[in-house]
């Protein structure tokens, strides 16, 4: 699916979340939608530049933070590096397995924590809003090379 073709399709989505529709937000949203793995701000920036060369990195950060405020996006942080990764907050969410050697990520199906969170809410009286789960290790290839 080509990013450019879809620009403009998400007006209603933005309106629903009470934020203005701009071409930068449209673009960043499409990039995240079309990515099957979390992206760094820098990666989003580079992909954005392919379509709109004048976009700035601060816009990327501002848009991503707006999306986070609206719960459209979640922020992760890859294990040993100090950079944030962003991905759409998909309703039926799963998680990723991260290879700490080659940094490859693999989707793992359904999130195992739903039931657990319910019981936690009861025992702790917290209002649980979400969670971040990152599982890491060595992928089959890197495992062999060890």
Partner DNA sequence: GTTAGTGCAAAATCTTTGCATATTT
Partner DNA sequence: AAATATGCAAAGATTTTGCACTAAC
Task: Identify the residue among 4, 9, 23, 112 touching DNA (CB under 7 A).
Answer: 23
User: What tokens does 3 get?
Assistant: 């990013």
Q: Which does 50 bind (CB under 5 to 8 A by kind): DNA, a second copy, none?
A: none
* Ramachandran assignment for 139, one of left (phi > 0), alpha (psi -120 to 50 degrees), beta (any other): beta
Rounded to whole angstroms, the Cα distance separating 140 from 101 reads: 11
Coil, strand or helix at 114? helix
Half-sphere exposure at residue 138, Cβ-oriented, CA atoms within 13 angstroms: 7
Closest to a second copy by CB, 4 vs 102, is: 102
Closest to a second copy by CB, 3 vs 99, is 99
Residue number, 79 or 133, with CB nearest to DNA? 79
Q: Which residues within the stretch 100-129 sit at the binding site for a second copy (CB under 8 A)?
A: 100, 106, 108, 112-113, 116-117, 120-121, 124-129
CA distances from 85 to 9, 30, 42, 45, 117 (A): 25, 16, 9, 12, 24
Q: Could you tell me how far CA 59 lies from the centroid of its own chain?
A: 17
Q: Judged by CB under 7 A, does residue 14 bind DNA?
A: yes
Per CB under 8 A, does 94 bind a second copy?
no
Question: Which residues here bind a second copy, judged by CB under 8 A?
Answer: 68, 75, 77, 79-80, 82, 84, 97, 99-100, 106, 108, 112-113, 116-117, 120-121, 124-140, 143, 146
């Amino acid at each position: 699916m080509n990013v450019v073709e879809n620009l403009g399709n998400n007006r209603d989505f933005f309106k629903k979340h009470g934020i203005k529709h701009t071409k930068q937000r449209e673009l960043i949203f499409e990039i995240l939608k079309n990515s099957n793995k979390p992206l760094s701000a820098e990666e989003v920036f580079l992909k954005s530049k392919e379509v709109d060369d004048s976009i700035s990195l601060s816009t990327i950060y501002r848009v991503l933070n707006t999306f986070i405020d609206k719960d459209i996006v979640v922020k992760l942080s890859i294990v040993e590096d100090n950079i944030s990764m962003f991905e759409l907050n998909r309703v039926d969410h799963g998680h990723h397995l991260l290879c700490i050697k080659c940094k490859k990520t693999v989707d793992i199906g359904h999130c195992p924590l739903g039931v657990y969170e319910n019981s936690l809410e009861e025992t702790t009286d917290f209002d649980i809003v979400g969670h971040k789960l990152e599982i890491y290790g060595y992928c089959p290839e890197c495992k062999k090379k060890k």
